[in-house]
Amino acid sequence: MIVIGLISWIVGTGLLCWVFFTLVSMAVPTMAGLIIFFWTYRMGAGFSAVFFGIVAGMFVLWLFRVALTSIQRPDVRLAVVLAFCLPASIAGYSATAGLAQLGNPSPVWQAILGVIGAAMVGAASFARLAPDARQGNGTFLYRHD
């Protein structure tokens, strides 16, 4: 029984971290969806508020993709991607520092772990959102003509 409990604890913690990391790396669409969800729920939409929140998050992500594909200048494209990565890094810092508070009493180590988490989430968000150089659809450094 103890072994099953330990295995389920490890799997549950891993799934929680995976979901949390996925949501944090897409912080702007997630927050847009949550804001619209809470607003429509408080307006009395009931269960359909979930639909409106999901649609709002998908719409913000779609706007980002359209902006990224329609902009030709690499510096502006980099600014658009960084506008999405900066909130993800801030959310990664908050999440990692919050989880570090559970098991680490030292505020210095909590801040260090928070910065490491922010860097990892920011880098993952940048890698997920940046154009792929191998497909020839443009990079930030140069354009393939």
From first to last of the 145 residues of the chain, give the pLDDT tens digit: 788 888 888 888 888 878 877 777 778 888 899 999 999 999 998 889 999 999 999 999 888 888 888 888 888 888 888 888 898 899 889 888 888 888 888 889 999 989 998 998 888 888 877 765 444 555 454 444 4
- Residue 123 falls inside a structural domain: yes
**Considering its fold, how many domains does the chain have in total?**
1
Any domain includes 51 = no
pTM over 0.85? The answer is: no
Centroid of chain to Cα 52: 20
Q: Would you say residue 39 lies in a domain? A: no
Residue 32 lies in a domain: no
Write the CA distances from 75 to 6, 22, 120, 128, 139, integer angstroms: 49, 26, 23, 18, 10
Q: Which domain holds residue 114?
A: 2-27+58-135
Has residue 36 been placed in a domain?
Answer: no
Confirm whether 45 is domain-assigned: no
Is 124 part of any domain?
yes
